[in-house]
Amino acid sequence: MRAMTRADVDAVLAIEQTVQRFPWTRGNFADALDSGYLCRVDEAENGGIRGYAILMPAADEAELLNIGVGAAQQRKGLGRAILAEMLDEARARQLRRVFLEVRPSNAAAIALYRSAGFGETGVRRDYYRNEDGSEDAVTMACELSPLSHCGRGAGGDG
Ligand SMILES: CC(C)(COP(=O)(O)OP(=O)(O)OC[C@H]1O[C@@H](n2cnc3c(N)ncnc32)[C@H](O)[C@@H]1OP(=O)(O)O)[C@@H](O)C(=O)NCCC(=O)NCCS
């Protein structure tokens, strides 16, 4: 994993537009870079971008704003590895907690977060727009004490 740069945005956007039902725009990625959020990409040996994640630190917490893995690379453990690295970076910055919102319809993401040790903390009503109007968000969080197993496979069997 390495820091995302402006030069990566085309490749990241290409994945985003393929895998997300409501993709971020180029401007969203540019704003995240300009704002100094933790923007990371996973690069294959041939230099192609396989996945990415964006974490927004705020005080002693951080919000995971986005995570995506290219369609051809999914279900190979990459999403879990990217998430674990983001949690390690948050730990290294002494952050206490990482939280996120996710669509209840996004079973893959919810399973990934649960397997990384996130627990559900609540529901935000009508948080997202969708084809029928709006959709609630499930909120999830992971407490990051130095000894916690968040992102280290505590929720799974690994
Ligand atoms: C969510 C996402 C990042 C997961 O990436 P991935 O590389 O495929 O995930 P992994 O291979 O590391 O899977 C880790 C665990 O997540 C769960 N999971 C991943 N994809 C799943 C799917 N399609 N269905 C059910 N569970 C799934 C499983 O528990 C899996 O563990 P297992 O393979 O041992 O069963 C990927 O599906 C993606 O990019 N989705 C579109 C973008 C998105 O929705 N992002 C989240 C909201 S911003």
Write the pLDDT tens digit of every residue in 77-134: 999 999 999 999 999 999 999 999 999 999 999 999 999 999 999 999 998 888 878 9
DSSP H/E element including 3:
strand 2-3
Chain segment 42-67, per-residue pLDDT in tens: 999 999 999 999 999 999 999 999 99
Antiparallel, parallel or unpaired: β 97-102 and 2-3? unpaired
Q: How many CA atoms lie within 13 A of 34 on its CB side?
A: 6
* Per-residue pLDDT, 73: 96
Q: What is the distance between the alpha carbons of residues 95 and 120, in angstroms, rounded to a whole number?
A: 19
Query: Confidence class of residue 158 from pLDDT cuts 50, 70 and 90?
Result: very low
Highest CATH level, class, for 2-143: alpha beta
User: In the structure, which protein residues have their CB atom closer than 6 angstroms to any atom of ligand 1?
Assistant: 19-20, 66-69, 74-80, 102, 106-109, 111-112, 115
pLDDT band, residue 149 (cuts 50/70/90): confident
Closest atom of ligand 1 to CA, residue 69: 39
pLDDT (tens digit per residue) in 126-142: 988 888 789 999 999 99
Output the pTM of the full model: 0.94
For residues 121 and 97, the answer to whether their CB atoms sit within 8 Å is: no
Which atom of ligand 1 lies nearest, measured to the CA of 76? Answer: 11
Say if CB 64 and CB 55 are below 8 A apart: yes
Q: What are the residue numbers of the active site?
A: 101, 113
Please give the helix or strand (H or E) that residue 83 lies within, else none: helix 78-92
> What pLDDT sits at residue 83?
98
